[in-house]
C-alpha cells in the first residue's frame, strides 16, 4: 500500500518550453503532497507543499510563477516548470501523506529527471 | 528550527559485515524520526520511523534504529549487509504535529564483496 507514481520518469525539453510533471497517489487519498528537487549527490530540497483544493505553499527562494503547482484532486498533483532553462535540469520528486490517520509519514514517488537543453 | 546531521557522507563495508549509519538531530520540540533509502535513479523508500513508544524500531530489509533522546541520535544499524543494500540513506525529522520533513545530507553505503 501507499504507492505514489510520477509521470513522466524522464523528460528532455528545449530551453523556453514548459514541462508538466504528474504525481499520483495510487491506493490512497492524499490531502497533502510535497514537491522536492534533488541535485546530483545532494539531499532533497523541499520546493512546496500543496493541499487539495488550495494554493501551494512555496519555500523561501522558490519562484512560484516558475514552478506552478496544482493539487486539483485527492490523488493528483502537478508541477509545471514554465519557460524551462538549463539550470532547471534536476531530479524532481513528489511525496504524499495518506491523510489524518498517518499524516506524519510521507510516501515518495520514483522521481522525474528533467533535462533542459 | 530543526536540523539533521548525518556524520558520514560515505560508508564502505564488506558484504555480511555489520553497519551503522549515524544520524544526529537538533530540535527544541518533540520530533518524529525517519530513515529513507534511495536506490540509484529512484525515489525514496521508507525504511523505518519512530513516532513514539519503544525506542528500538525495526524496519524493512533487516534494518533497525534506536532513538536516543539524551544524545539526540537515531542511528541506523544492520547486523549483516548484502550487496543489494548499496544505496543512499537519508535520515529525516519532522516536528510532532507538522508534516514538513527536514533531511540530512545523506550517507552513501557501498557494499564490497
User: Are the C-beta atoms of B9 and B107 separated by less than 8 Å?
Assistant: yes
Most confident of A30-34, A37-41, B108-112: B108-112
Tell me which residues of chain A have a C-beta less than 8 Å from any C-beta of chain B: 4, 6, 32, 34, 42-44, 46, 49, 93, 95, 97, 103-111, 113
B113, B100, B91, B101: which is closest to B25 by C-alpha? Answer: B91
> Contact A104/B51, CB-based, under 8 Å?
yes
How many degrees, rounded to 5, is the angle at CA A104 between CA B19 and CA A10? 75
A66, A70, A78, A69: which is closest to A112 by C-alpha? Answer: A78
Record the cell numbers describing residue A54, joined without a space. 488550495
Distance, in Å, from the CA atom of B72 to the CA atom of B85, rounded to the nearest integer, reads 26
B92, B109, B94: which is closest to B44 by C-alpha? Answer: B92
Mutate to test the interface with B, among A101, A104, A110 (most CBs of B within 10 A): A104
Show residues of chain B in contact with A110, CB under 8 Å.
Answer: 42-43
Phi, psi torsion values for B100, nearest 5 degrees: -70, 130
User: pLDDT at residue B53 above 70?
Assistant: yes
Residue A102 confidence (pLDDT): 66
Is the sign of the CA dihedral B54, B59, B62, B65 positive or negative? Answer: negative
User: pLDDT at residue A10 above 90?
Assistant: yes
Mean pLDDT of A10-35: 94
pLDDT tens digits along B54-81:
999 999 999 999 999 999 999 999 999 9
Mean pLDDT of B87-113: 92
User: pLDDT at residue B24 above 80?
Assistant: yes
Amino acid at each position: 500500500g501507499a504507492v505514489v507514481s510520477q509521470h513522466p520518469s524522464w523528460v528532455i525539453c528545449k530551453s523556453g518550453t514548459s514541462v508538466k510533471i504528474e504525481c499520483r497517489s495510487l491506493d490512497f487519498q492524499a490531502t497533502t503532497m510535497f514537491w522536492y528537487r534533488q541535485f546530483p549527490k545532494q539531499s532533497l530540497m523541499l520546493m512546496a507543499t500543496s493541499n487539495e483544493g488550495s494554493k501551494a505553499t512555496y519555500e523561501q527562494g522558490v519562484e512560484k510563477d516558475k514552478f506552478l503547482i496544482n493539487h486539483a484532486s485527492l490523488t493528483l498533483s502537478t508541477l509545471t516548470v514554465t519557460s524551462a532553462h538549463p539550470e532547471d535540469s534536476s531530479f524532481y520528486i513528489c511525496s504524499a501523506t495518506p491523510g489524518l490517520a498517518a499524516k506524519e509519514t510521507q510516501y515518495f514517488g520514483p522521481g522525474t529527471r528533467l533535462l533542459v537543453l | 528550527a530543526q536540523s539533521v546531521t548525518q556524520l558520514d557522507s560515505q560508508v564502505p563495508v564488506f558484504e555480511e559485515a555489520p553497519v551503522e549509519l549515524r544520524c544526529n538531530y537538533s530540535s527544541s520540540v518533540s520530533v518524529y524520526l525517519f530513515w529513507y533509502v534511495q536506490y540509484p535513479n529512484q525515489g525514496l523508500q521508507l525504511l523505518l520511523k519512530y513516532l513514539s513508544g519503544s525506542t528500538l524500531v525495526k524496519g524493512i530489509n533487516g534494518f533497525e534504529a534506536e532513538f536516543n533522546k539524551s544524545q539526540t541520535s537515531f542511528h541506523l544499524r544492520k547486523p549483516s549487509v548484502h550487496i543489494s543494500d548499496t544505496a543512499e540513506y537519508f535520515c529525516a525529522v519532522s516536528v510532532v504535529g507538522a508534516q514538513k520533513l527536514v533531511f540530512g545530507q545523506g550517507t552513501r553505503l557501498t557494499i564490497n564483496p
